[in-house]
Structure 1
Amino acid sequence: MASSVSKRAIFFVAAALPYALEILTPGHLYQASKWQTAIVAFLAIFIPRFIWLSIIYPFYFSPLRHLPQPKQNSLLFGQMYRILTESIGSPQSQWMREIPNDGLIYYRTLFNTEWLVLTSPKALSDALTTKSYDLIKPPIIVGSLARILGASGILLVENEEHKHQRKNLLPAFQYRHIKNLYPLFWNKARDMISAIDRELSEKKKKSEGSVPPNIVSVDHWTSRATLDIIGLAGIGQSFNAIEDETNELYQSYQTIFAQDRQARILGVLNTFFPFWLVRKLPFPRNYQIVKAQSMLQKMCLDLIGQKRANSAAADKEGSREIVDDIDILGIALKSGGFSDQGIIDQLMTFLAAGHETTATAMTWAMLALCKHPNVHNKLREELRAAKLPNIRDTESQIFAEQIDQIAYLQAVMNEVLRVYTPVPATFRVAQRDTTICSQFVPKGTMVLTSSVGTNHLSTLWGDDCDEFNPERWLDESGRANTSGGAESNYANMTFSHGPRGCIGASFAKGEFACLLAAWVLAYDSVLVDENMKVEKTPGIVSRIKDGLDVKLTSLKA
């Protein structure tokens, strides 16, 4: 928002003025009181500034005020009610469909803070590629995520530091390295299936002859599996979450990602009050987050020491495991470009983001397959035709080429990620004056990319944009295509694009493919409640509210 006077400057001037007056002209203190003088000074600066920024500037002077925008704005709160009460990206997705525009839609939120929604490939290209470093993550987002991801992880840093980190981490995410992890993905998928089999067997024994309960929670199991996978692939150590759901690490992440009432209240308070104040409020969740964060940081520090000791021993013996050369921790240490705290923050970033998003994608995939049994059955037929090994064979193994060449599996995955994109929106703020689609964008303007909106835009995907149709990702000969029929790369925003695009996209898709193939080969799944009302959680990762329960029928190889 246009202003040369920062909030910090207002507090400084208001606090310093009484002391200056006391020294220079003591008789000018209001009511002979420094406190009352400070309050008057604060109000004298704050009120005109508030009127200018919240009413006069956005309505009469903003260079953005003539852009297409939604109607029914509140005088001071703009579209804030919809933003708070609907899932992330949902209002913007509706506006993208209904409001004619040339790439940008303008709207206002709390106290008429100005926002832009990017709606066209040209606007997305400008913001995410050409001008990517003109736009940074908003402080409110950084402050919220830093507790979970670490303040100096690649997801939160900006500018030259981001370029430096991406350069040093990129080798760990190149496909020539990722393909070596497919056997690991498959092994952990097999471990997950074995654990589910044991759970079903135990339930059957306890049923005492009645109809055996065969209901499992998809998100529960996939979250445990993906945490074990990112543990091995990220730091070379399994967390044993599949075998033991009570272990401290898994429970810590359950706490961190819980979208309960307290989490929503604290999220709203962060909008109005400083982070340091909100974090000190006596909410149990605040204490739980601090405890979980301390445990995770200590674990990461211990792992760094262990990895260094193992690497030194391996170098001395002249041998080294493959995973030591390609896991995130190994690459970060080898690069020499990170401090210990920097490496800790990278590990926290990839442990959190690397397991939660893929687990969420798996949950949405099973919902889609249960709702489209024809797709479900065709996928199983294609997997069997590919002659993948028996998932229940403890000696079975696969290679990247076997999975990646199954065109229909790739098509189903791509369509799940398009229709049910796990991260529905990303947020940026202009750190300097810039332009998007030739429109001047002042410093401080908030910019939103609605992944869910772009992925469902009829101008990019056709009239069937809302339909779940994996066939769009196949050509006439049945081979996989990477565009889904869309003419622009920017039509698919699941992993974003440009320098800030998801560095772990290949990792996530390989992991997703192995987990999905294993589940579909092992079980036939149907919804417990065929008429369930699907609601999304309000968090940055869009999960199914209350999770997804399915009834399983075990299948033979």
Structure 2
Amino acid sequence: MARHAVLPPGPKGLPVVGNLFPFRNDPLAFSTAIQRRYGNLVAVKIMNSYVICGFSPEYVRYCLMEHPRSFRSIQSEGGNLRLLLGDGLLTSEGDFHRQQRRLVQPSFHRQRIDQYADTMVNYTQDTLCGWHAGEEVEMASQMQRLTLRIILKTMFNVDDMKQIDTLGAAFNTVINQAPHRFFWLRGPLANLVGRTTKDQDEQFTNGRTTLDTFVSTLIQQRRSNKQDQGDILSMLLAASDEGESLSDQQIRDQVMTLMAAGHETAQNSLCWTFYLLAQHPRVYEKLLAELRTVLQGRAPTMKDLAQLPYLEWVMNESWRIYPPAWRIGRRAIEDIELDGYRFPAGTIFLLHQWVTHHMPELWGDPENFRPERWDPAHQQKLPQGVYFPFGGGPRICIGMPFAQMEVRLLLATILQQYYPQIVPHQHVVPLPRVTLRPRDGMHMILQPVA
């Protein structure tokens, strides 16, 4: 193999800080711009370190699917996500991660997940009872309340609206007040990046304590009564792998991970789908026609989803444009040879769903919201790694089937009654945190369906 220069091409940035500020302040625009200028493998200097950005499907396949054991997740190395989630599936690594995944996997078997469908639909109908035609709602908070309620019921058999509001506020605090540090940077200046105020640190700590107290107390209560309540927590308490069961701390970490990722992914997916449908009335009309034909005005069931292919295409396209995970980081644990470049162990690789999902050379018209591109009859021939909204390989999101079912059932329920419209002159901007949130929420008007 021909040996290239030491590093791929890329922007050098400013003295000392390199590309720190655009990388931190506007990562979506920055990553898109460097791919357009430098190509699909780009070296980005940040302070005294380099990260390697891989944008094409071949790099996604290499890191996530073909050589996953040559890398470790950078989330396992530290940072605020690990402070909140502990050694959950998002933040653990190696043999421990594989064992934990085996123990958690039965909680997400299809038969188990299907049992949650009625809860999802019933709680959505309860939400609709509180909505009124023509009123304005802040959809992000509405969807957070609904999806968190669903998670708490299916995971803990808890349905306390006051508790839901408390936990929702705590999650928002943790996400909004977390310092924006790159914990994988090295050197004396690294700790200065994303430094927060004392007040922000206190709010972050208080929010984390609220969440931790809720989960830990519930585990203790459930250990005491020893009753299988048919929820995910009961499955985790009973799980064992070759005679080894989960400790309270391990259950706490997995439950916190599933609770955080479960409602956060669903609420954002719903918001962005409402946003896209509001901008594309013909897509909504086609989707509504399918819903009316199949459901004839009744609430959807799990069995109905197989008869709603256009609904599935809408969600696939929504996840392409606004992927739940917008970037994935891996650190090489051995020397890597890729496209003639030799990267030493310790190199950080970043894979960008946001960029790969919007590359014209892969999608033709990536900025168009076109659900028909997912029609199997004339679907584009997509190489593996071109579409990875939930990651890929052995670390693909374990809750993906839960999320796929939930968002489709909720949409099928809501869109038969309301067609949410964006409040005029509202500037909707994605905020890249762990997921893509609407930066200032999403204010929508509830237009009744005739």
- The answer to whether TM tops 0.5 is yes
Q: Distance in 1 between matches of 2:191 and 2:14?
A: 30
Aligned to 1:376: 284
Q: Distance in 2 between matches of 1:269 and 1:230?
A: 30
Q: Which of 109, 116, 119 pairs up with 2:46?
A: 109
User: Matched residue of 1:90: which SS?
Assistant: helix
Q: String of CA shifts for 1:150-184, please: whole Å, max 9, x gaps.
A: x2111101010111111111111222322222112
Provide closer, same or farther for how the CA distance between residues 169 and 257 of structure 1 changes in structure 2, counting only shifts above 3 A: same
Letter in 2 for 1:357: T
Aligned alpha-carbon RMSD (Å): 2.8
User: Matched residue of 1:196: which SS?
Assistant: coil
Aligned to 1:60: none
Aligned to 1:122: 58
Q: Which of 288, 305, 321 pairs up with 2:203?
A: 288
Q: Distance in 1 between matches of 2:125 and 2:45?
A: 49
Contact 2:44 2:50 in 1 (8 A): yes
Contact 1:245 1:251 in 2 (8 A): no
Q: Distance in 1 between matches of 2:77 and 2:124?
A: 33
Q: Distance in 1 between matches of 2:401 and 2:152?
A: 17
Q: Indicate yes or no: 2:358 matched with 1:456.
A: yes
Q: String of CA shifts for 1:386-417, please: whole Å, max 9, x gaps.
A: 125535xxxxxx43120232011001011000
Q: Which of 220, 226, 232 pairs up with 2:153?
A: 232
Contact 2:76 2:92 in 1 (8 A): no
Stretch moving more, 292-301 or 69-78: 69-78
Structure 1 regions of 5+ residues with no counterpart?
Answer: 1-62, 201-212, 315-320, 392-397, 478-483
Q: Cα distance, 1:437 vs. partner?
A: 4.8
User: Matched residue of 1:543: which SS?
Assistant: strand
Q: Distance in 2 between matches of 1:245 and 1:376?
A: 35
TM-score (norm 2): 0.89
Equivalent residues, number: 443
User: Matched residue of 1:123: which SS?
Assistant: helix
Aligned to 1:342: 250
Contact 1:96 1:457 in 2 (8 A): no
Matches within 5 A, 1:179-218: 179-197=114-132, 214-218=135-139
Aligned to 1:421: 323
Matches within 5 A, 1:74-85: 74-85=14-25
Letter in 2 for 1:167: R
Q: Distance in 1 between matches of 2:195 and 2:336?
A: 37
Letter in 1 for 2:18: G
Q: Indicate yes or no: 2:439 matched with 1:502.
A: no
Q: Cα distance, 1:289 vs. partner?
A: 2.1
TM-score (norm 1): 0.73
- How many percent identity over aligned positions? 26
Aligned to 2:96: 161
Q: Indicate yes or no: 2:180 matched with 1:267.
A: yes
Q: Cα distance, 1:357 vs. partner?
A: 1.4
Q: Indicate yes or no: 2:105 matched with 1:170.
A: yes
Q: Which of 383, 390, 409 pairs up with 2:311?
A: 409
Q: Distance in 2 between matches of 1:373 and 1:245?
A: 37
Letter in 2 for 1:302: T
Provide closer, same or farther for how the CA distance between residues 175 and 254 of structure 1 changes in structure 2, counting only shifts above 3 A: same
User: Matched residue of 2:445: which SS?
Assistant: strand
Contact 2:57 2:356 in 1 (8 A): no
Letter in 2 for 1:237: V
Q: Distance in 2 between matches of 1:379 and 1:305?
A: 45
Q: Cα distance, 1:470 vs. partner?
A: 0.4
User: Matched residue of 2:180: which SS?
Assistant: helix
Q: Distance in 2 between matches of 1:120 and 1:351?
A: 32
Considering fraction of residues, name the structure with more helix.
1
Q: Cα distance, 1:274 vs. partner?
A: 9.8
Q: Distance in 2 between matches of 1:180 and 1:115?
A: 43
Provide closer, same or farther for how the CA distance between residues 292 and 277 of structure 1 changes in structure 2, counting only shifts above 3 A: farther
Q: Cα distance, 1:490 vs. partner?
A: 1.0
Considering fraction of residues, name the structure with more strand.
2
Q: String of CA shifts for 1:130-149, please: whole Å, max 9, x gaps.
A: 22122223369632212222
Q: Cα distance, 1:523 vs. partner?
A: 0.6
Q: Which of 335, 340, 361 pairs up with 2:269?
A: 361
User: Matched residue of 2:287: which SS?
Assistant: helix
Q: Which of 515, 521, 526 pairs up with 2:421?
A: 526
Q: String of CA shifts for 1:239-269, please: whole Å, max 9, x gaps.
A: 42xxx488422221221222xxx64xx3249
Aligned to 1:13: none
Q: Distance in 2 between matches of 1:543 and 1:132?
A: 28
